[in-house]
Amino acid sequence: MTDTTPTPAPLPAPAPARAQSPLLRIARNFAEDRLAVLGLLLFLAVVVLAFAAPWIAPQNPYDLAQLDIMDGGLPPGEASFSGMTYWLGTDQQGRDMLSAILYGLRISLVVALVSLACAITIGVVAGMAAAWFGGRVDSLIMRVVDLQLSFPSILVALILLALFGRGVDKVIIALVIVQWAYYARTVRSSAIVERRKDYIEAARCLALSHRRIMFRHLLPNCVPPLIVVATVQIAQAIALEATLSFLGVGVPITEPSLGLLIANGYDYLLSGRYWVSVFPGIALLITIVAINLVGDRLRDIFNPRLQK
Amino acid sequence: MQMNLRRLAGAVLISSTALASAAAAQELRVGLASEPTSMDPQFHNLATNTQVRLNIFESLIEQDPLQNLEPSLATEWEALDDTTWRFRLREGVAFHDGTPFTARDVIYSVCRIPLVENSPSSFSIYTQSISGMEAEDDHTVIITTNGPNPLLPVESSTWAIMSADASGAEAEVTFADGTCEGLGEVPQQQAFNSPELVIGTGPYKLQESTRGAQIVLTRNDDYWGEAPDWETIRLRPITSAGPRVAALLSGDVDIIESPPIQDLPRLEREGFSVVDTLSNRVIYIALHQEGPHSGITGTDGENPLLDARVREAISLSINRDAIVERIMSGYATSAGELLPPPMFGTSGRPADPYDPDRAKELLAEAGYADGFGLVLGTPNDRYINDEQVAQAVAQMLNRVGIRVTVDAATASQFFSRRNNQEYPAFLAGWGASSGEMSSPLKSLVASFDPDAGMGVTNAGRYSNAEMDELLQKAMVTIDDEERSQLLQQAETIVLDEHGIVPLHYERSAWAMSPKISYEPRVDQYTLAYAVRNAEAD
């Protein structure tokens, strides 16, 4: 009861003063690498394009009534009967590839971001609990994590989707299940280091609740490695979703994501309709490379050994 | 002089390469799309198995590429009366182990069919009408049926004739009043993993069968019929379409079955020959016609598919020619019936026209001017471009206001879900192995009665008593002309009320090196022994 009143006051006060400088330092540090900046810009561009898809795409590729199979398999730059130009060509259903890629990016990003958020939440809670309570709780949680990590994630996801069936929500659930363990392990290892430090001892001496120390004091100091893992994992999640859709267990066929678009075109590669596969492939490549560039730079910044 | 020498050297060179290729040409390598589930010729009624077994085991009667009946181990057959048939057997035929082929082997083979355990799809549906068999002499068999069965000769083309001796039968094998005696211990499917038991009368002997890798056949030099062109045949299962095409392109195999249709233009450009023919397989859409269904939305629980006008609207809103041209690249033919004309029992009915305006009118008349929501189930790896066709149908139905969502699943999942009636509408295909109309009518649209073997694939539960009656009558009519008329009438009833919506007949294709030739078959079988060496001719 007594400790609820003083805390809101001191926390906001030091936060701006202290947070300002490291953030600025990170930003400056980040900007030193031109490639990373380019990656960030590319990623932001992809995000904006993807989320603005309903307004900028020439066609809604998920509305079957807007498609016409008579327009199927047109090469890039060809015009349809209705006068619309397909800049990146169409697939065999008559879907405008440009629109399909924009919508597909949106699905890929939403799936990756939502599953990232859920996986981080679960992973952080589990990792913190393991580090803080130690002993049996730690062993139990970490054995589950080990078990999880010992299987290839694609295998686990395939099995899960074979059980659940197709659907965006199911893909997200599968991705959360295969990813939370990475975060749990990362958070645990940094939390174990931090919990022996003096400020935690001080917090304990104040008889603060476990939850409070864990999430208010311990967690903020475990964030840097988490950010690095998250950027790597989001690229992983996008690639994994694409793989699952490519294998035909991911999103429904009438609402293709990038992976499914590539799979649709894969059958036509030998017969010369390269555009159905290649353009979604390039979009996927750009997205993942951009995220990885950003992630690499962040890792360098947060790695004390590489610090100048 | 020098000129002559050079020429001579050139000629030697040419003739030596010709010799080398002639030696290599003695072997045929076939890329199959799927692998037989067993080498037991009577284990599994599956096209994949049958097309391999026909190299090794023959039947009394064989089907030619157009599914006409031709003499094989039987030279003649006739119906003595409504329930008695006489088959005269070919003389001088020997099994691979040298023992002569006699009536005893025929009786043994038919007797064994129902005794094969754990068969995923038994051949016993083709022997269940037989109540007894009798060897009049070594080369004459009298078969009695428990009712008139005009299809007995067709059905006999599915019985693989095995050697009674090699299978361990007793000296006397009898089949009277529905019971067989003298069979000894019947070998089961597992026993056929070793080539010793795989003893038939066919043009090839089994040399080796390695699961997942290859099946090697060697020529039976004592074969009674025309000697095939190849000394050895190597059958390689390459289940993915891409690698199968790649294997042909790189010369690893000489002929492949079901090449992806989108790759055919390229294969032809690179000098491979492609042959194709109309198959006996119709791709259709079945509609749920038994009470409400949870997959239909926006109708307050009503099932609009019970209304014949709605079903007609669905048929009229599908642009079959566009599907054939765009999705099937021309390797299909728009279907108006359940079996392509001029096969037995077809009436030559044209495909429904594409008329979306009339479809909208019909929907409005039926009280569904605003359409309704419908789930369309489809397999995604069973028929040629099945998932793409379903999407195209969904697209077309959406245009007349029926909001279709496609639910695609892999074949094994799809078929079990379909049989549980989980789809209010589904896309599937039916290949008539007997090559006549009774096959699709019996399975797809006859009233559901699995115990009687009727409507076993009728998951939409279409039912019409008049049609059932005509079909039953046709099935016991021996006279071909009359039977054909009855089947046409029965089919017309179904199609007039759009109880099922035919989309197209698949065309099946084969791609091969220009050095060989193959006559395309309606039943889609790839019969390795029938592949010809074009160079030898």
Calculate Rg over the CA atoms of chain A: 23
User: Which residues from A are below 8 Å from B327, CB to CB?
Assistant: 69, 72, 92
Pairing of strands B296-297, B373-379: antiparallel
Residue A162 lies in a domain: yes
pLDDT class for B216, splitting at 50, 70, 90?
very high
Residue A93 lies in a domain: no
Residue A153 lies in a domain: yes
Pairing of strands B84-89, B74-81: antiparallel
CA distance B512 to B518: 8
* Residues lower than pLDDT 70 in chain A: 1-20, 304-308
Residue A230 lies in a domain: yes
At A186, list the tokens.
């990362």
Strand partners, B218: B205, B232
Residue B201, pLDDT > 90, answer: yes
User: What's residue B536's pLDDT?
Assistant: 54
A252 touches chain B (CB under 8 A): yes
- Picking from A173, A153, A191, A41, the residue whose alpha carbon sits closest to that of residue A111 is A173
User: What's residue A6's pLDDT?
Assistant: 45
At B245, list the tokens.
């095409």
Residue in chain A lying closest to B405 (CA): A254
User: What's residue B3's pLDDT?
Assistant: 45
Residue A111 lies in a domain: yes
Residue in chain A lying closest to B401 (CA): A65
How confident is the model over B27-52, as a mean pLDDT? 91
Q: What tens digit of pLDDT does each residue of A139-157 get?
A: 999 999 999 889 888 898 9
Are residues B273 and B283 in contact, defined by beta-carbon separation less than 8 angstroms?
no
Which of A65, A253, A266 minimises the CB distance to B408?
Answer: A253
Q: Residue A269 burial by CB count (10 A; 0-12/13-18/19+): exposed, middle or buried?
A: middle
What range does the domain containing A284 cover? 98-306
Are residues A288 and A238 in contact, defined by beta-carbon separation less than 8 angstroms?
yes
CA distance B491 to B501: 12
- Measured in residues, chain B has a length of 537
A292: enclosing H helix or E strand: helix A275-302
User: What's residue A197's pLDDT?
Assistant: 86
Residue B482, pLDDT > 60, answer: yes
Q: Is the dihedral of CA B202, B207, B211, B214 positive or negative?
A: negative
Instruction: Report the 10 Å Cβ neighbour count for A150.
Output: 8
Q: Which range among A219-223, B141-145, B231-235 shows the weakest confidence by mean pLDDT? A: A219-223
Residue B283, pLDDT > 90, answer: yes
pLDDT class for B156, splitting at 50, 70, 90?
very high
Which of A92, A252, A266 minimises the CB distance to B388?
Answer: A92
Which ipTM was obtained for this model?
0.71
A301 Cα to chain B: minimum distance (Å): 45
Q: What tens digit of pLDDT does each residue of B361-405 get?
A: 999 999 999 999 999 999 988 888 898 999 999 999 999 999 999
B103 Cα to chain A: minimum distance (Å): 51
- Picking from A144, A176, A149, A187, the residue whose alpha carbon sits closest to that of residue A240 is A176
Q: Residue B201 burial by CB count (10 A; 0-12/13-18/19+): exposed, middle or buried?
A: buried
Residue A189 lies in a domain: yes
The residue with greater pLDDT, A33 or B86, is B86
Are residues B374 and B497 in contact, defined by beta-carbon separation less than 8 angstroms?
no
User: What's residue B24's pLDDT?
Assistant: 52
User: Which residues from B are below 8 Å from A93, CB to CB?
Assistant: 388, 391-392, 395
Which of B245, B319, B399 minimises the CB distance to A270?
Answer: B245
For chains A and B, what is the number of CB pairs under 8 angstroms?
69
A62 touches chain B (CB under 8 A): no
A70 touches chain B (CB under 8 A): yes
Which of B323, B387, B395 minimises the CB distance to A253?
Answer: B387
Q: Which range among A210-219, B35-44, B483-492 shows the weakest confidence by mean pLDDT? A: A210-219
User: Which residues from A are below 8 Å from B388, CB to CB?
Assistant: 92-93
Residue A33 lies in a domain: no
For B52-56, the CB contacts below 8 A with 24+ separation are B52/B215, B52/B235, B53/B160, B53/B200, B54/B202, B54/B525, B54/B527, B54/B529, B55/B202, B55/B203, B55/B204, B55/B217, B55/B233, B55/B527, B55/B528, B55/B529, B56/B96, B56/B198, B56/B200, B56/B202, B56/B204, B56/B205, B56/B206, B56/B217
Residue A257 lies in a domain: yes
B46 Cα to chain A: minimum distance (Å): 26
pLDDT class for B19, splitting at 50, 70, 90?
very low
Domain of A288, CATH number, reads: 1.10.3720.10
User: What's residue A305's pLDDT?
Assistant: 65
- Measured in residues, chain A has a length of 308
At B367, list the tokens.
């009280």
How confident is the model over B475-485, as a mean pLDDT? 91
Query: How many domains does chain A fold into?
Result: 1
Q: What tens digit of pLDDT does each residue of B429-479 get?
A: 998 878 889 999 999 999 998 888 788 889 999 999 999 999 999 999 988
A167 touches chain B (CB under 8 A): no
Q: What tens digit of pLDDT does each residue of B313-349 get?
A: 999 999 999 999 988 988 999 999 999 988 889 999 9
Continuous H helices in B25-114 = 47-56, 103-112
Percent of chain B with pLDDT strictly greater than 90:
69
Cβ within 8 Å, pair B395-A65: yes
A248 Cα to chain B: minimum distance (Å): 9
